[in-house]
Amino acid sequence: MKRFVRLLLPATGLFTILLTAQCSMTREQEAPGMAARARLTEAQTAAAADPNQPATTADAAPVSAEATASVATPTPAPAAPVAAAAPMRRTNADYKADIRSADALLKTNPRNADALVTRGRAKAQLKDYKEAIADFNLALRVKPTNADAYYNRGLSRIQTREFNAAISDFGKSLRYRPEDKEAYFGRGVAKMSLDNFKGALPDFNKALSLDENYADAYEYRGICYSSLNKPEDARRDLEKAAKLNPEAAKSLRKYAKQ
């Protein structure tokens, strides 16, 4: 049996795929995936800390053309189309600023679960996973039904190699948010980390039933099929993943048997 070895690459592996807004083109453009929820929570925290500070382009929630048309005064069309600005990639300085903003909120309200989750997420991005888990634990003491806290704690527990605990966290997140494709994907990857490739398949299947263009789910399901010696299924999924996300071509070359 081929062992899956890509899961825990330090800065560019699973955690980046699951958590960052820049991880894949398909996830960046959709709502309400975890990338969008992360930006919204961060924007809310920053606004609460400093109401006079406007939201940045990276943190602002996208507004549809229809919604804009319903509230804005009509203006003449521009002479030429203007290209949309590329999403701003967040830096360590941004995450440290998130921590400071959350700290300010928590000084006045130590039971602010949203601030605890935001601070925990920022710590996780800075690779301080144990401290991140501590914040998610606190958030869950305040609000035991907080799906974001369970989800993000699951991500951090993958990084600390607590795979069974991560599986449990993703399951609890799904209890309160049953249509969250990211949580199904995360649970599937945690199972793969335990070489439970067969058990991971239903989670990737469910994620794909929620989003038929979910490139990462095709890629990881393809790797499962390869590990289960199902080369035709593996190639089909990996080729689909590579069409949706060129980065998956690496897995296609590695795991699709000739």
**Contact at 8 Å (CB) between 225 and 240?**
no
| 6-22 tens-digit pLDDT | 443 333 355 555 554 32
| 107-149 tens-digit pLDDT | 999 999 999 999 999 999 999 999 999 999 999 999 999 999 9
Q: For each of the domains in the chain, give its residue range(s) and CATH number, in order of start.
A: 91-178 (1.25.40.10), 196-257 (1.25.40.10)
Share of the chain above pLDDT 90, in %: 64
Cis geometry, peptide bond prior to residue 32 (ω within 30 degrees of 0): yes
DSSP, residue by residue, 83-103? PPPPPPPP-HHHHHHHHHHHH
**Mean pLDDT for the chain?**
78
Interior/surface letters 3-37, b for 16+ CB within 10 angstroms, e for the rest: ebebbeeeeeebbebbbbbebbebbeeeeebbbbb
SS3 call for 3: coil
Mean pLDDT of 32-37: 37
| 145-185 tens-digit pLDDT | 999 999 999 999 999 999 999 999 999 999 999 999 999 99
Mean pLDDT of 225-239: 96
